[in-house]
Structure 1
């Protein structure tokens, strides 16, 4: 494992911890899109179908369990926890996220590395992850009231994917025959979706003002 992959994994883990901190400590999910969290739960559930059949390493298994467990627990808290769910802005979080699922599934049936159930589901998870942040970004643009932890959570998610791009570049030049067009293209699309948010995030940090996105 190279430094970019490890940094990407740790940044991804940090984003989850920041969100869990917000939910468990402050008992609030204000500014967080349930639609995005449901999409991430689907992403991890379909990507890690091999968790009990194909052992790669202890690190790999632990990370898979963390992302699976955390994604479903976040959805549960936002839907069922009496205190947390009161802060959920249902009226603003109206992005029709299920309309993203079917196109990604159809794309996976056409574009995949091998035509079997696991590989198609893996490709589906890659495509879906690329667009899963859309409901969250739309919610932030609508509310424009972005608290510190929410801003850090979204920034860390975007940083994780950016670090993975560096990981792919590094592996391309250091590993023979390393080519994964599906993850590369989906990862570039996903990172591009964060471009606007990154701009305003760094502007707010530079000017030491509260983060706000344009309506």
Structure 2
């Protein structure tokens, strides 16, 4: 495992910690899109069908991967549960603005996975679907922030860390391409570039507000 992948995984983990901190400490999910959280739960559920697969030639890495998969599965479903059913947290959910119809994302991603995949098997199609879906899962969250405009610090940090995680994975892929023979992952690469591009506008305003020590506010 190279430093870019490890940094990406830790940044992804930090984003979840920030979100859980918001939910558990202040009992609020204001500014967080339930639609995006449900999409991430679907991403992890369809991607980690090999959850307990162990490669004996790289057993330490296998256990690392297993631990990270369990963490992402458990936290994503617990966040959805809190936002839907916790009697205090669910009252802070912004249903009025979180109105993105996510079947607009689900159906095209699934059809694309059926058409463009490495191998036409159930596991491979679902894995490919998860890659396509992860690329656009942040869209409902970005739409919600665009509608509300004013973004609190924890929500802003959460979205920034998610984007930073994907940016670090781009560096991981570049590193692997340069150091590993015949390393080619066109589906993952293209989906990752699309996902990172979606964060570009948010990154600009986040870094601008951080530089000026101002509250993050997105344009109308």
| TM-score, normalization by structure 2 | 0.96
- Superposed, 1:106-145 pairs within 5 Å as 106-145=111-150
- 1:206 lines up with 2:211 in the alignment: yes
- The aligned counterpart of 2:166 is 161
- Superposed, 1:165-204 pairs within 5 Å as 165-204=170-209
- The aligned counterpart of 1:13 is 13
How far the C-alpha of 1:99 sits from its partner, in A, is 1.8
Size of the aligned set, in residue pairs, is 214
Structure 1's consecutive aligned runs of 4 or more residues displaced over 4 angstroms after TM superposition are: none
- Partner SS, residue 141 of structure 1: helix
Gaps of 5+ in 2: 56-61
CA distance in 1: counterparts of 2:155 and 2:207, whole angstroms: 15
- The aligned counterpart of 2:54 is 55
Show CA shifts across 1:150-177 (max 9, x none).
0000000000000000000000000000
Structure 1 vs Structure 2 CA RMSD: 0.6
- The aligned counterpart of 2:27 is 27
- Partner SS, residue 71 of structure 1: helix
Show CA shifts across 1:74-118 (max 9, x none).
000000000000000001000001221010000000111111011
How far the C-alpha of 1:185 sits from its partner, in A, is 0.1
CA distance in 2: counterparts of 1:107 and 1:47, whole angstroms: 16
| TM-score, normalization by structure 1 | 0.99
CA distance in 2: counterparts of 1:115 and 1:97, whole angstroms: 25
Show CA shifts across 1:6-59 (max 9, x none).
00000000000000000011100000000000000000000001113x224111
